[in-house]
Structure 1
Amino acid sequence: MPARSPDSIGCRNTSFRLAAHPASEQIAASIGTVGDALDNALMESTIGLYKTELIKPQRPWKALGDVELATAEWVDWYNHRRLHSEIGHVPPAEYEAVYYQQQPNPQVTATI
């Protein structure tokens, strides 16, 4: 039997613990199948933008607090002022507000 590298054993154990914890808390984990990269595509894209637009241009960072504050400011800018071509060149917050304004009002019903 070939020897396993410590890295591959650690990854397997970490993956097992990662999957077991949400299950023990009765949480449905959002984990795709092996080789299915589509689940993370949106997050990977956003993280790439975050690194390109904020982290890399301003390095070296002096302190963690500086990164945290800049991240909060970037997230606010990204959601409220950055124009997104895929949604008609408007910020996501504006697009979402318009979307919900166009939805019919939900009817409240009571069952006795």
Structure 2
Amino acid sequence: MKYAWIELHSRQWPVSLTCQVLGVSPSGYHARKARDVDTDRARRRISNDALLVHIKAVHAESKG
């Protein structure tokens, strides 16, 4: 919850200041942000792989 608030207000106040006020480390905030990006990439990759399977199946059926 704190990290989301920091992200939401990162254009208004420096991350280092909001981390200090909320009692979290800037390195913890940045590590969490990096993990979120990795998770989003993994989800997108899985989704793309599933879509590719469907595209190949439709393509194979249409060549009939």
Report the TM-score, using the length of structure 2 for normalisation. 0.35
Report the TM-score, using the length of structure 1 for normalisation. 0.21
Larger Rg: 1
Instruction: Compare the two structures and name the one with the higher helix fraction.
Output: 2
Which structure carries more relative contact order (alpha carbon 8 Å, separation 6+)? 2
